[in-house]
Structure 1
Amino acid sequence: MLVLRRKVGESIVLAGVINISVLAVEGERVKIGISAPPDVSIVREELLRSVPETSSVQNTSPVQHR
Structure 2
Amino acid sequence: MLVLSRKKNESVVVDDRIVITIVEIRGDKVRLGIEAPREVPVHRKEIFDAIQAERNAEERSAS
Q: TM-score, normalised by structure 1?
A: 0.76
Relative to its length, the structure with more helix (as a share) is 2
Q: Aligned letter for 1:49? A: D
Give the aligned length.
Answer: 55
Question: Equivalents in 2 of 1:48, 1:7: separation in Å?
Answer: 27
Cα offset, 1:40, TM superposition? 0.4
For structure 2, the 5+ residue unaligned runs are 58-63
Cα offset, 1:39, TM superposition? 0.6
**Which one has a bigger Cα radius of gyration?**
2
- SS, match of residue 46 in structure 1: helix
Q: Which is bigger in relative contact order (C-alpha 8 A, separation at least 6)?
A: 1
For structure 1, the 5+ residue unaligned runs are 56-66
Question: Equivalents in 2 of 1:39, 1:24: separation in Å?
Answer: 26
- Equivalent pairs: percent with the same residue? 36
